[in-house]
Structure 1
Amino acid sequence: MAEAKIITGANAKGGAGKTVSVIMLSSELAHRGKKVLIVDTDSEKNISAWFDRCSENETPISNITLEYAGTANKLKQILSANLDDYDYIFIDTPGRMEKFQEDSFLVTDLTIIPVQACQSEIKGMVTTISNLLQIEEDQGVNIRKLVFNTRVTLQDRHIEEYKTIRGFLAKLKESDVVVDHCNVELMQRNPYRKVYSGYPSLYDLPDANNDSVQKAIEEAVIFTDNVVRYLETGSL
């Protein structure tokens, strides 16, 4: 098995959809037969709570293992011990930047940054990108960054906040700062919320044949394809 690809979810604002996005990506990859490890570095343990709810719901999670790392040393230990045993490792970070989690960004192959079309989420995205750029400067590294829109509604596409996201990233590009923006948008909020309530994946929901769930599955498949392609080729 090749060394695992490491994907870190980050946004300096809690509630942006980071943990749900990590669950969606990891569960879709697990559904494809990939071996996935999730490392929870958030003291609130939201993604660990998802594992617990699945257990309580008697819907065990297949092909995904969970570890918790509350310190830099623990994170390093987990990564070094598991790089050769998994296809993908996801690191779920809290809705704030803590010093020890800098190590997540130094080792990651890709940092995914979800953002909603509202001022507080956009501010969280800007703060996250600024922090990552500072780490790059301080450590002399390049951190690949991929922004994507979550919890999008058709109405969102007409508001100024929605346009601000792409405008901000375009200005960064003009300054030779590369932060890619995925065109796939996650719109089906309720199915993802149901998974988070205690189901291993969208495919395991009781109403998996429901139209909204099928649309969510389609979103998850396309988004995962984009992330995998971006990891392999550097382009979307």
Structure 2
Amino acid sequence: MTRTYAAVSNKGGAGKTTLVTLLAGEYALRGERVLLIDADNRQNLSGWWRLCTEKDNVPENMEVTIASTQRSIEQAIDNIGRAFDLVIIDAPGVDSSLQATIIRSADLVLSPIQPAIKELEAAGQAVAAVNEINDQHGLAIGHFNVRTRISVPGRNLEAYRYIRPFVAGLVAADYRTRLLDTELFERNIYREIQNGLGTLQMQALTEPVRKARAEVHALVDEIEEQRTSLGFEGAA
């Protein structure tokens, strides 16, 4: 049965597209057929795919399609998505009816959080949107927060130290969300692959790439472990 994940944040530049490409590359490496849906009007995801095609770096087990309306998103999931094991949607970076359609279509929503107050606010808005849709439609969509663009100095920032208690407060208020332990560090290779180099998993195994791959591998392991243990097995 096809699983559908969505990367959602109400803040532009939060790192959704980077998160989507990193996850897609890891799932594809594990033998899953992955469909990526670019629903963000900035089209960073489809732009990356176009560059990959031009440079002959098209990843295996993966396809990208653009869907900019509610109907096209539903058609992409229901028609094209059936041929894939996993669909990952890069949602628009603003709160909209389109975002609500994407969340409602997902089994799991992932929100990247950088150590900054605006990022926390955007993640909180995503959590609230997921829980509102769950309540309205009797669904059980899960929500995970992923810390991204982390640096060693950045861990000393007040905003970084506030991420864990912020999410803990949401959980205490009965919001269906969780903060993942695995963090994505600020790495040059994560930016470089957006220039049409394919996926992280296609790069020569230098020491920086090895560290990055271990990080993404751990993140996917945690996502699947937590999704299963918490019963996020799909929308009702």
TM-score by length of 2: 0.92
Counterpart selection for 1:230 from 215, 221, 226: 226
How far off is 1:83 after superposition? 4.0
Counterpart selection for 2:158 from 157, 160, 183: 160
Tell me which amino acid in the other structure corresponds to 2:161: K
Aligned residue in 1 for 2:32: 34
Aligned residue in 2 for 1:64: 62
CA offsets per residue over residues 188-229 of structure 1, 9 Å max, x none? 421111111112212323xx3322211101001111111122
How far off is 1:156 after superposition? 1.9
Distance in structure 2 (CA, Å) of the matches to 1:169 and 1:63: 34
Counterpart selection for 2:11 from 1, 10, 13: 13
Distance in structure 1 (CA, Å) of the matches to 2:175 and 2:53: 43
How far off is 1:49 after superposition? 0.3
Aligned residue in 2 for 1:210: 206
Aligned residue in 2 for 1:219: 215
Q: Would the aligned equivalents of 1:4 and 1:84 in 2 still touch at CA under 8 Å?
A: yes
Q: Does 1:185 align with 2:183?
A: yes
Tell me which amino acid in the other structure corresponds to 1:7: Y
Distance in structure 2 (CA, Å) of the matches to 1:62 and 1:99: 33
Secondary structure at 2:83 match in 1: coil
CA offsets per residue over residues 121-152 of structure 1, 9 Å max, x none? 12211222222233233333332000010010
Secondary structure at 2:181 match in 1: coil
Q: Would the aligned equivalents of 1:188 and 1:215 in 2 still touch at CA under 8 Å?
A: no
TM-score by length of 1: 0.92
How far off is 1:16 after superposition? 1.2
Distance in structure 1 (CA, Å) of the matches to 2:173 and 2:99: 27
Q: How does 1:113-124 map to 2 (within 5 A)?
A: 113-124=111-122
Aligned residue in 1 for 2:145: 147
Distance in structure 2 (CA, Å) of the matches to 1:84 and 1:209: 33
Q: Would the aligned equivalents of 2:127 and 2:176 in 1 still touch at CA under 8 Å?
A: no
CA offsets per residue over residues 69-120 of structure 1, 9 Å max, x none? 1111111111111343111000111211221231211121100011000122
Distance in structure 1 (CA, Å) of the matches to 2:6 and 2:185: 21
Aligned residue in 1 for 2:133: 135
Distance in structure 2 (CA, Å) of the matches to 1:17 and 1:99: 21
Secondary structure at 2:88 match in 1: strand
Distance in structure 1 (CA, Å) of the matches to 2:140 and 2:30: 30
Distance in structure 1 (CA, Å) of the matches to 2:130 and 2:4: 16
Distance in structure 2 (CA, Å) of the matches to 1:137 and 1:60: 40
Structure 1 gaps of 5+ residues are none
Q: Percent identity?
A: 28
What RMSD in Å do the two structures reach over aligned CA positions?
A: 1.7
Counterpart selection for 2:77 from 76, 79, 86: 79
Structure 2 gaps of 5+ residues are 232-236
CA offsets per residue over residues 3-35 of structure 1, 9 Å max, x none? 111000011101111110010000111112210
